[in-house]
């Protein structure tokens, strides 16, 4: 259970006491204030604003401009009248499901929550198709968050020195990514070089766990934890539905400002996730960026998206993800719609180093991939593979399903302090695609 306090006019109350005081009119300003309900971590907290101190959101924008909040759930905000109780003034009720500091509210909780969903039409021109992000995110917050990701990934002096070089490389970026990146820079009032750097900053430090498993009836399930050492990404996580001719072409989970995908599903065809292979450093990242453009190698997340859009089935996806040149090594984990359609592809830049398929007949009903070659022991400090294997064996093939897979992905250290989100999916049941953000990651006490 989350622990919460509310600060009202320099007084600290528990949730119940604050609610009682506001609803029953026992605070000094209650007759001149509007009650506000904030749904946070599955608890309801009531706050208020006075004429002198307004901390409400109105139409998705902070009334008090000095309040800086990561507003990324505008579409989750709704207004409704508050019934007057004991003479209190009726006002707007704002439902905002997000981790925020509001009116001195102090919150500590670990309840997972679903990210907002953005529909992107592939029929739109690349430079305008990401405009729906503006309905979900505050532009100033996006710019600050993007700068934080870049600065914590690449040294600032490299960032500044690289900007003119990145601009020179822009002409080598293939479509539709060039248009989408230019469009995002325009929408967010930023520079093209910064959007390019942001996209390549996401190409490293993705310490992940992916699992593909088959039950006794031949149903294949796919789950993944995406781990990044950037806490701000929890506020930028989005589900993206890519539409073509008004129909769902594919979907995935990503971050605002990022054109690639590390997690995705082509309905009734296959699912795919990408895990970083080994440890990457910023100097290799810079080399990867240059090689991507000059040698026409695909960033690993762009290949995921292209495969989701173009591959006809599981086999086609495996071939594409195995053979198309990429900028760095990676693991692609793929699951299909039929029994035995599951594999971990270990990639070098030029092609596959290994393909590790499901083999349920011989006991290989699941495959676990973290960030190290499966045929080698992981580093002594990393126990994610061991923990996942033990949990899967304890669960058993008879009991593996979407729910038990999520439970396994929730175990520490499979889920850990830098886990940003968890996705479970099954291409044969595309409507069950589910992503939950881990607002505080996972700890050993979870």
Question: Among all residues, which ones are annotated catalytic?
Answer: 208
- Supply 149's token pair: 């990701």
The pair of structure tokens assigned to 69 is 């909040």
- CB proximity list for 216: less than 8 A, separation 6 or greater: 397, 398
How far apart are alpha carbons 386 and 381 in whole angstroms?
Answer: 11
Q: From 213, 207, 117, select the one nearest 405 (Cα to Cα).
A: 213
Pairwise CA distance, residues 51 & 343, whole Å:
60
**What is the C-alpha to C-alpha distance for residues 443 and 446, in angstroms, rounded to an integer?**
6
Q: Is the distance from CB of 430 to CB of 272 less than 8 angstroms? A: no
Cβ distance 397 to 216 under 8 Å?
A: yes
Residue 301: closest CA among 267, 258, 343 = 258
Query: Which helix (H) or strand (E) segment is 321 a member of?
Result: helix 314-323
Q: Are 180 and 130 in contact (CB under 8 A)?
A: yes
Task: Using the CB atoms, write b or e for 265-282: b if 16+ within 10 Å.
Answer: bbbebbbbbbbbbeebee
Gap between the Cα atoms of 333 and 345, Å rounded: 6
Separation between Cα atoms, residue 22 and residue 192, nearest integer Å: 49
- 283 burial (CB, 10 Å; 0-12 / 13-18 / 19+) is exposed
**Alpha helices for 154-279 (secondary structure H):** 156-169, 177-187, 192-201
Structure tokens at 200: 């390549």
Whether a cis peptide bond, with omega within 30° of 0, leads into 176 is yes
Q: How far apart are CA 261 and CA 300, in angstroms?
A: 9
Q: Which H helix or E strand runs over 147?
A: helix 139-153
């Amino acid at each position: 259970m989350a622990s919460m306090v509310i600060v009202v006019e320099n007084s600290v109350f528990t949730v119940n006491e604050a609610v009682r005081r506001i609803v029953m009119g026992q605070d000094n300003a209650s007759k001149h204030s509007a009650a506000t309900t904030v749904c946070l971590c599955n608890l309801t907290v009531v706050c208020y604003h006075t004429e002198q101190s307004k901390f409400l959101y109105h139409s998705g924008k902070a009334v008090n401009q000095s309040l800086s909040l990561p507003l990324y759930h505008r579409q989750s905000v709704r207004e409704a009248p508050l019934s007057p109780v004991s003479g209190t003034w009726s006002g707007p009720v704002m439902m905002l499901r997000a981790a925020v500091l509001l009116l001195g509210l102090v919150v500590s909780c670990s309840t997972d929550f679903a990210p907002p969903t953005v529909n992107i039409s592939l029929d739109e021109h690349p430079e305008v198709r990401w405009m729906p992000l503006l309905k979900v995110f505050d532009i100033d917050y996006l710019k600050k968050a993007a700068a934080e990701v870049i600065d914590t990934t690449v040294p600032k002096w490299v960032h500044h020195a690289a900007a003119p070089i990145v601009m020179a490389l822009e002409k080598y970026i293939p479509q539709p990514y060039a248009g989408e990146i230019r469009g995002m820079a325009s929408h967010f009032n930023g520079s093209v070089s910064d959007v390019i750097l942001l996209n390549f900053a996401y190409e490293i430090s993705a310490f992940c766990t992916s699992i593909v498993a088959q039950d006794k009836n031949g149903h294949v399930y796919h789950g993944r934890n995406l781990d990044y050492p950037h806490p701000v990404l929890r506020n930028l996580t989005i589900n993206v539905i890519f539409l073509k001719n008004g129909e769902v072409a594919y979907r995935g989970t990503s971050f605002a400002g990022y054109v690639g995908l590390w997690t995705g599903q082509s309905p009734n065809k296959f699912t795919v996730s990408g895990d970083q292979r080994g440890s990457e450093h910023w100097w290799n990242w810079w080399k990867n960026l240059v090689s991507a453009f000059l040698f026409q190698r695909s960033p690993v997340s762009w290949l995921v998206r292209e495969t989701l859009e173009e591959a006809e089935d599981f086999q086609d996806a495996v071939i594409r993800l195995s053979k198309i040149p990429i900028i760095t090594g990676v693991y692609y984990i793929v699951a299909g719609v039929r029994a035995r359609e599951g594999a971990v592809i270990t990639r070098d830049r030029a092609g596959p180093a290994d393909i590790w398929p499901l083999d349920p007949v011989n006991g290989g009903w699941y495959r676990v991939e973290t960030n190290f070659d499966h045929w080698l022991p992981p580093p002594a400090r990393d126990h994610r593979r061991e923990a996942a294997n033990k949990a899967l064996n304890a669960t058993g093939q008879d009991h593996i399903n979407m729910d038990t897979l999520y439970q396994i992905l929730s175990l520490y250290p499979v889920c850990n302090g830098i886990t940003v989100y968890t996705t479970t999916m099954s291409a044969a049941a595309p409507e069950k695609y589910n992503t939950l953000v881990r607002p505080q990651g996972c700890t050993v006490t979870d």
